Structure 1
């Protein structure tokens, strides 16, 4: 069974799983970082971030409250974006569809600056840029509710070319984006930092539009 077929068959199940994970995460974060209990809340420092939230322009580190949800959002979205960049960079020498190639370049332009932004925030917050090991974020395992591809899926994608690559890339990126959207929605609900929540909103808007575009590409391939 190809990576495309596996991704397609598991999309519905993963969406249901994502809803459960987000709900569970919301309860956990509510207990440790939201509401009237400020034990999970701290304040940002004056260090500078590398890029603006979702814009690629210079920006100061977000000021104001920072809670556990903000930290988790940045720590988990960084490797998520990094895998999206890895997938996007495969398209140059493998994709045959012009729209796939164009979208891959767009993903690179958007997500690379966002990675720099989130790493800058975590440094300013005196938090590690790598999250503790979490289920679903292991590149060597199977698909998680966050949409991360397994090592086997990435190996298969690298071996594809032409229309086969285009179809697999589109379906995998849909799954990957849907995972990012779920994580960003969780940050919008539970996060305290205004700039982190603004980036989460930008991810929801931008990647939702790309999911629709990718579905349209799949329909015509």
Structure 2
């Protein structure tokens, strides 16, 4: 008996140790599975229908351009404010168009993206040239058009349901983006004083309304 008892105890300890290792392995596997499920859940939340996915390059680009527009100094010189905000607004469109060229697959959308880049780069240079020689002209009274256009664009951006398809998302985001430019340009026509800027504003309204229609027609063909 003196020999058997230690042997029995040794066997018992060995079994407990094995069970402990199995439990540890099981717990580790459960922890890994749980972490994976949590990651999948978080990804689903970020990419789900109706969720604004801040990891989306197009959305990040849009939000970045709006932040830069909000940082423009507002001092009552409507023409200077309009030109400065449109420079940032156009740069945002160029950034989104470059994303479409890099990651999109639809030839029509890529062609529109290239057209936007070419046109709006040229307009940015015109705005900069006008600002360089512009003499401050404070326009008295309330002129909320620019900020109202920004607010509307911000609301429409947050309401846009991203699909994960770069071409579709580009078309939808550019529609929202163009709507902001159109509204700001209408403000320039009403309250601006610089002829060259008013002429550019009219051109922006006409061209971007035309592009919005093209985006609508293309989106109508997509399932």
Q: What's the TM-score, normalizing by structure 1?
A: 0.57
Specify the alignment match of 2:203 in structure 1. 202
Q: Does 1:95 align with 2:96?
A: no
Q: 1:213 to 1:88 in 2, by over 3 A?
A: same
Q: Cα offset for 1:148? A: 9.5
Q: 1:118 to 1:88 in 2, by over 3 A?
A: same
Q: 1:80 to 1:91 in 2, by over 3 A?
A: same
Specify the alignment match of 1:177 in structure 2. 178
Structure 1 Cα separation of the partners of residues 49 and 113 of structure 2? 17
Structure 2 Cα separation of the partners of residues 119 and 3 of structure 1? 41
* C-alpha contact 1:69 1:187 (8 A) present in aligned 2: yes
Kindly report structure 1 stretches of 4+ aligned residues shifted beyond 4 Å: 1-7, 134-137, 147-150
Q: Cα offset for 1:146? A: 3.8
Q: 1:165 to 1:204 in 2, by over 3 A?
A: same
* C-alpha contact 1:146 1:183 (8 A) present in aligned 2: no
Q: 1:108 to 1:6 in 2, by over 3 A?
A: farther
* C-alpha contact 1:80 1:148 (8 A) present in aligned 2: no
Q: Which has the larger radius of gyration?
A: 2
Matches within 5 A, 1:1-221: 2=47, 5=50, 68-125=77-134, 144-146=151-153, 164-221=165-222
Q: What's the TM-score, normalizing by structure 2?
A: 0.56
What do the CA deviations read for 1:71-126 (whole angstroms, capped 9, x no partner)? 11101111000000000011122111111000001101110011111111111126
Structure 1 Cα separation of the partners of residues 118 and 49 of structure 2? 25
Structure 1 unmatched ranges of 5 or more: 8-28, 33-39, 41-67, 128-133, 138-142
Structure 2 unmatched ranges of 5 or more: 1-45, 53-73, 137-145
Total equivalences in the alignment? 145
Root-mean-square deviation (CA), in Å? 3.4
Structure having greater relative contact order (Cα 8 Å, sep ≥ 6): 1
Q: 1:107 to 1:215 in 2, by over 3 A?
A: same
